[in-house]
Amino acid sequence: MVEEKKHGAIPPRYDLDAKWDACLDLTIRRFFYSSLAGAFTGLLLFRSPTTRWASVAFGAGVGIGAAYTECSYIFDGSPPKLSPNVSAVPSGSAQEEQK
């Protein structure tokens, strides 16, 4: 009926257990799927076992790097907003239209 509030509830922003769980899940999934994509690419493109394993290692590295970046956003907050590259100087075509 009436929603009970927990007095000791931690806001999602400060809940480190949930953040660690999300990061661990994200890291395992990205590592696995990137390694799998690297293995498939290695089988498709390369003949030598060494280059195939290098392809798997590259895929795993990409997955770990992507997971690391995403986890840093999870722990530190939202990613920085990039401002659009708008020059203060008008282009030549805009000046010609004003004449």
Q: Are 76 and 68 in contact (CB under 8 A)?
A: no
Residue 52 contacts residue 43 (beta carbons within 8 Å): yes
pLDDT in the model for residue 74: 85
pTM over 0.85: no
Whole-angstrom Cα distance, residue 53 to residue 75? 33
Q: Averaged over 45-68, what is the pLDDT?
A: 94
Amino acid identity for residue 30 in this structure: R
Mean pLDDT of 23-35: 95
Average pLDDT of the residues of the chain: 80
CA distances from 56 to 47, 69, 76 (A): 14, 20, 30
Residue 1 to residues 4, 76: CA-CA distances in angstroms?
A: 9, 37
Q: Residue 52 and residue 41: Cα distance in Å, rounded?
A: 8
